[in-house]
């Protein structure tokens, strides 16, 4: 990954420890149940699992983040040597300014250093609507394994809860 890539007002860089509190404050302010645990884990995973957590800044202010796991073991395509994009978030006040697209551009570039295909899981709640639309516009398609809850596929006709752990896995071929 290049250290920084500038597109107009958006800079993408590696996540730093000081970003954790900024995002927790921002997510809490918009009504999300935010704690530092998730982002601190992403920083640890950089060393322990080779993860690549990145941040997009808009006019110098941290605006969004995601993490690429180059050889993910989770989800529908886990354990197949494929990169997974996880925990993609853009603070609401920075949405519709290209922040998410720039993060995904960089994530796909990173993923392409490891494989020809990348995948991700997207939540099914309406709060994931922006991400769902973005992924379709970028060429992601369902992998065909149905919906998952946590790290397990949901059996047909099973009752489940539509929470943050309910996801549909999508993939994109990076080289056509």
Query: Residues 122-147: pLDDT tens digits?
Result: 999 999 999 999 999 999 999 999 99
For residue 1, pLDDT beyond 90: no
Mean pLDDT of 110-123: 97
Domain ranges of the chain: 5-173
For residue 50, pLDDT beyond 90: yes
Q: 5-173, which class in CATH?
A: alpha beta
**pTM of the full predicted structure?**
0.92
**Which two structure tokens, joined as six digits, stand for 107?**
């994530």
Over the chain, what is the mean pLDDT? 93
Task: Count the Cβ atoms, other than its own, within 10 Å of residue 33.
Answer: 7
For residue 4, pLDDT beyond 80: no
């Amino acid at each position: 990954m290049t250290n920084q890539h500038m597109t107009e007002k958006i800079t993408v860089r590696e996540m730093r420890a000081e970003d954790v509190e900024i995002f927790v404050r921002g997510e809490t302010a918009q009504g999300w149940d935010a704690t530092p645990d998730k982002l601190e884990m992403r920083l640890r995973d950089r060393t322990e699992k080779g993860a690549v957590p990145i941040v997009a800044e808009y006019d110098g202010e941290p605006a969004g983040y995601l993490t690429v796991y180059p050889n993910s073991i989770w989800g529908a395509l886990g354990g197949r040597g494929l990169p997974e994009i996880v925990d993609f978030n853009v603070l609401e006040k920075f949405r519709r300014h290209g922040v998410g697209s720039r993060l995904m551009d960089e994530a796909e570039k990173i993923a392409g250093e490891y494989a020809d295909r990348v995948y991700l899981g997207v939540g099914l709640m309406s709060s994931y609507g922006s991400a769902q639309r973005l992924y379709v516009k970028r060429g992601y398609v369902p992998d065909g394994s149905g919906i998952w809850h946590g790290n397990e596929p949901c059996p047909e006709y099973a009752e489940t809860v539509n929470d943050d752990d309910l996801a549909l896995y999508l993939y994109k071929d990076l080289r056509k």
